[in-house]
Amino acid sequence: MFLITDIALLLGAYAAAFCVRMNFAEPIAGWQSACVSSVSACIVQMALLTAFRLNRAWKWRVTARDMPKYVAVFMLSAVVLVGLRVMLPDGNMMWARPPYSVALIDSVFAFFAIVGMRLLRQAHKASVMGDVMRKVEVPVPALFKGRRVMVTGAGGSIGSEIVRQVARAGAAKVFMVERGENALYKIDYEMRGSVTCVPLMADVSDESKMRSIFEDCKPEIVLHAAAYKHVPMVEMNPEEGFKNNTEATGLLVKLAKENGVDRFVLISTDKAVHPKSVMGRTKREAEKLVLAEGYTVVRFGNVFGSSGSVVELWREQIAAGGPVTVTDRRMTRYFMSVQEAVGLVLNAASSGSGKIYTLDMGEPKSILRLAEDMIKDAGWRPYKDIKIVFTGVRPGEKLEEELGLEQGTRIEGTKIFASPLIYD
């Protein structure tokens, strides 16, 4: 596929050069010789691209250090083609030799054609990898229209997308609760055109502050996304993990009940299923507190584009020339885009309360395969150009995550499963 595209580009560049040079007039030796000489030029240029290792699928990417090679290839091709014209007598194999001016113009056109196509493909691949499954759109239910909605962790990747979708759905007010100043500033700045969004800098574990917010703002729906989610960090700081993930959730549930909140949704994780890590246990206990009051839990796995996604780390590592770190070659994970995950969360919020909803995230993906594909899409060869280093499973991590879908029942029209209240 890549070789065919290169050949087509080189022949097109030659045809353009010939037309420019000949002003669309028939050449002296006729159009047949012009076609044959184009094949000669293409063979020379393809041979040089191959010699410089620039026409392989993994090399369809232009970097600053590759640019001198492309320049060298087409300068050298011009020298070779002009040399053929000089060395071969006029009467001998004249049909295989492009005119001097055509050879020079063709080299310039071919350079821009090849490099330009690689840059276009590179931009396309970057947009695809930059936001996997962005085209998947889940309609936001009418539940939020005209309602007062509180979003905790509003500055995070999940929380901020909840804010966007709820605001677009016509919420009367969106109270953005976030303790990180910079994170809150970013989402507030983004939503500055919406008078419905109110930034509230607060820690969800601060009882007096949160009680004041509930009493003053009177939210009808609470979407609780604030949490510590990095498994190794919570493993090393278990007290903070339980305080922020479990105790703070219990506090919010209590305040929600006291203030007559209609819907409360906890954003949970697949790590709460048969939890092995401290983080998983903190979220499992938080789920129990939410369900005990008849509210809703939504679980899902890893999210592309989130602040803690391994994909973002790999992008940085690939840009730096490697190595790319993978915990274990056997590890698999579920993945979903931020937009789709949040859309399904909002649909779960409008469904029955008192249940755990698990998002259908398809089949688990191999972490190693994903890392290899990202390296290839960046234009490099795994293990050769970019090394992959296996660091070992960290404390609290599993080789495979579970979603508990085998116990669920699909809600018609969505990718959500409602799970019974069973705890191991």
Active site residues: 271
216, 218, 399, 407 from 209: Cα distances, Å: 11, 14, 40, 39
How far apart are alpha carbons 366 and 334 in whole angstroms?
9
Residue 301's contacts (CB-CB under 8 Å, 6 or more residues apart) are 269, 270, 333, 334, 335, 336, 359, 361, 401, 403
325, 338, 405, 409 from 311: Cα distances, Å: 11, 13, 25, 31
Q: Using alpha carbons only, what angle is made at residue 126 by residues 359 and 112, rounded to the nearest 5 degrees? A: 160
The answer to whether residues 382 and 376 touch, using CB atoms and an 8 Å cutoff, is yes
How far apart are alpha carbons 408 and 410 in whole angstroms?
7
Burial class (CB in 10 A: 0-12, 13-18, 19+), 392: exposed
How far apart are alpha carbons 356 and 152 in whole angstroms?
19
